[in-house]
């Protein structure tokens, strides 16, 4: 196995270009956030002043500057997660491996961290995020690698992968005022493979979603159907994963 | 900062703040308490005349420190060097830094040497100072060279046993139990077996360096076979170097999998 073209086993020099935030909630006891990040960063060989400067910058980036002198044991779960991220980015790595990076964070913390991850990616860093919470992954990227029991089951853009799953027609839910009227118009369409009528809308199953979405506005306009919502319940990572592994 | 120095400083900071150090610190204070009670007993005049401050010191250093405390402290510190990081799942943070695994191993070992020395040696010196208060003035300064020799033996013991237990910590899954079994079966029982078998223990070579007379070493002294101090130092240095090299090699080449 190689990372950045180099073997990973017993190749410590590679770690200058790699940052890693592990999943486990593990720390050296009794240390403050600053002492912990500084201690780990000192292993990269920076002079003490440079180590401290980088540690402070990383803590600031993770919004932990005010809590830098507090013991990690007194941090909330979200703060502990962020201090782990701080040690991962403090040496400005080229590639970041983040294992469940949003675990334990509150909604604000999640939003902040997702924004940061996107910023790091935009700045040219490669970021590999491992997560079981698939909608979180979707909020960061559309480029995914789905792994089930150690085997890769899909790779690429989530929407493209969804297109390729032919066994499961796409589900499209149209919320409208008169579902029966709309259903009666759609039932004869060749691209419609199935249909389910609800009180507040119609769920259509189609194997040609692009064609369906192309023709749908004409019917809506012609019949003056008042559509309030249009959803694709299975055009997401979780649904793709479920289809692929079940 | 030099990577070895950085690992050493980080590991020492972790060791100093650990609960293990607190427990070992309390344990190291026990002989000091023994010295205080023993000295008070002697000074009260109840004790027999043959019992002197120096004989009390000799007894405590040999039987309390070399035969018990040295083993306990080095066992609990040495086996924890790698296994604590694995149990606490903090080893990941060290292994993803640009530092070779052998440097991590040696840096942690150096931190252990400092922590164990700071706990054992001052405590032994304190026992000496307290016990010698029972002897006539001037006696204590006459015995200072023996104290220094005792501290040297303890220091060598910390170095050698630490290297041994660190290897056990790097290899075994439950290193404390393996270390305990080794200590009480091999290092203790074998010492009582007459012949050359005892020469395969670290304790044999440490005993050869002790400046105290056999009569002051307790029952173990009568079972010891003679080894010259020079041979003892050479064997212990070589054994330590070999054990450190073995431990570093194991730590470098073994893939540690964290329990979920």
pLDDT tens readout for residues A56-72: 999 999 999 999 999 99
DSSP chain B: --HHHHHHHHHHHHHHTSHHHHHHHHHHHHHHHHHHHHHHHHHTT-S-TT--HHHHHHHIIIIIIIIIIHHHHHHHHHTHHHHHHHHTT-HHHHHTSSS-HHHHHHHHHHHHHHHHHHHHHHHHHHHHHHHGGGSPTTHHHHHHHHHHHHHHHHHHHHHHHHHHHHHHHHH-SSHHHHHHHIIIIIIIIGGGS-SSGGGGSHHHHHHHH--S-GGGS-GGGGGPPP--HHHHHHHHHHHHHHHHHHHHHHHHH-------
Which pLDDT belongs to residue B134? 79
A29 in contact with chain B, both atoms CB, cutoff 8 A = yes
**Contact flag B3-A16 (C-beta cutoff 8 Å):** no
β-partners of residue A19 are A96
Averaged pLDDT of chain B:
88
B93 in contact with chain A, both atoms CB, cutoff 8 A = yes
- Partners of residue A28 in chain B, C-beta under 8 Å: 10, 13-14, 17, 88, 90
Closest partner CB to B98 (pick from A15, A24, A27):
A15
pLDDT band at A208 (very low <50, low <70, confident <90, very high): confident
pLDDT-above-70 percentage for chain B = 93
Most confident by average pLDDT, A54-58, A124-128, B138-142, B188-192: A54-58
Considering the domain delimited by A2-141, tell me its CATH architecture: 3-Layer(aba) Sandwich (3.40)
Give B144-190 pLDDT, tens digit per residue: 888 899 999 999 999 999 999 999 999 998 899 999 998 888 888 88
d(CA A46, CA B6): 10
Does the predicted interface ipTM exceed a cut of 0.95?
Answer: no
- Partners of residue B101 in chain A, C-beta under 8 Å: 10, 12
Integer CA distances (angstroms), A194 to A181, A182, A183, A204, in order: 16, 14, 11, 6
Give A171-187 pLDDT, tens digit per residue: 899 999 989 999 999 99
Q: Could you tell me which chain B residue has the CA closest to the CA of A17? A: B98
- As annotated, the residues of chain A forming the CATH 3.30.70.920 domain(s) are 166-245
Considering the domain delimited by A166-245, tell me its CATH architecture: 2-Layer Sandwich (3.30)
**Contact flag B9-A22 (C-beta cutoff 8 Å):** no
pLDDT-above-90 percentage for chain A = 51
pTM of the model: 0.83
- As annotated, the residues of chain A forming the CATH 3.40.50.300 domain(s) are 2-141
């Amino acid at each position: 196995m190689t990372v950045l073209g180099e073997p990973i086993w017993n190749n410590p020099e590679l770690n200058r270009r790699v940052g890693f935030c592990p999943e486990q909630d593990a720390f050296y006891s009794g240390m403050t956030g600053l002492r912990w990040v500084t201690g780990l960063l000192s292993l990269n060989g920076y002079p003490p002043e440079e180590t401290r400067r980088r540690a402070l910058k990383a803590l600031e980036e993770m919004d932990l500057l005010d809590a830098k002198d507090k013991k990690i044991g007194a941090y909330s779960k979200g703060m502990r997660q962020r201090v782990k991220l701080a040690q991962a980015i403090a040496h400005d790595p080229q590639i970041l491996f983040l294992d469940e990076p949003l675990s334990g964070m509150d909604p604000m913390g999640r939003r902040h961290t997702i924004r940061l991850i996107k910023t790091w990616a935009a700045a040219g860093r490669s970021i590999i995020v491992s997560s079981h919470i698939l909608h979180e992954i979707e909020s960061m990227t559309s480029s995914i690698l789905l792994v089930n029991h150690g085997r890769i089951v899909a790779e690429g853009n989530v929407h493209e992968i969804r297109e390729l799953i032919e066994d499961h027609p796409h589900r499209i839910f149209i919320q409208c005022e008169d579902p029966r009227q709309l259903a009666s118009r759609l039932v004869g369409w060749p691209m419609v493979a199935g249909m389910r009528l609800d009180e507040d809308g119609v769920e259509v199953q189609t194997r040609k979603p692009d064609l369906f979405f192309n023709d749908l506005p004409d019917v809506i306009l012609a019949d003056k159907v008042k559509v309030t919502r249009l959803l694709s319940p299975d055009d997401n990572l979780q649904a793709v994963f479920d289809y692929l592994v079940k | 900062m030099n990577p070895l120095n950085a690992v050493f400083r980080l590991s020492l900071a972790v060791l100093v703040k650990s609960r293990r150090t607190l427990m070992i610190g309390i344990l190291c204070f026990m002989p000091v308490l023994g010295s205080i009670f023993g000295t008070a007993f002697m000074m009260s005049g109840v004790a027999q005349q043959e019992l002197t401050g120096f004989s009390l010191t000799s007894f405590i250093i040999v039987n309390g420190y070399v035969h018990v405390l040295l083993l306990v402290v080095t066992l609990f510190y040495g086996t924890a060097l790698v296994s604590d990081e694995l149990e606490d799942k903090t080893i990941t943070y060290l292994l993803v830094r640009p530092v070779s695994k052998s440097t991590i191993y040696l840096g942690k070992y150096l931190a252990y040497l400092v922590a164990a020395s700071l706990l054992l040696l001052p405590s032994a010196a304190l026992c000496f100072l307290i016990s010698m208060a029972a002897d006539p003035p001037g006696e204590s300064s006459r015995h200072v060279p023996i104290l220094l020799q005792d501290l040297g033996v303890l220091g060598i013991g910390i170095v050698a046993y630490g290297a041994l237990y660190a290897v056990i910590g790097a290899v075994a899954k439950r290193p404390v139990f393996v270390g305990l079994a080794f200590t009480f079966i091999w290092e203790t029982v074998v010492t009582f077996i007459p012949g050359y078998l005892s020469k395969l223990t670290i304790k044999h070579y440490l005993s050869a360096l002790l400046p105290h007379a056999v009569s002051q070493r307790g029952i173990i002294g009568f079972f010891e076979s003679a080894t010259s101090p020079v041979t003892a130092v050479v064997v212990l240095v070589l054994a330590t170097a070999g054990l450190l090299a073995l431990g570093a090699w194991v730590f470098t080449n073994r893939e540690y999998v964290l329990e979920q």
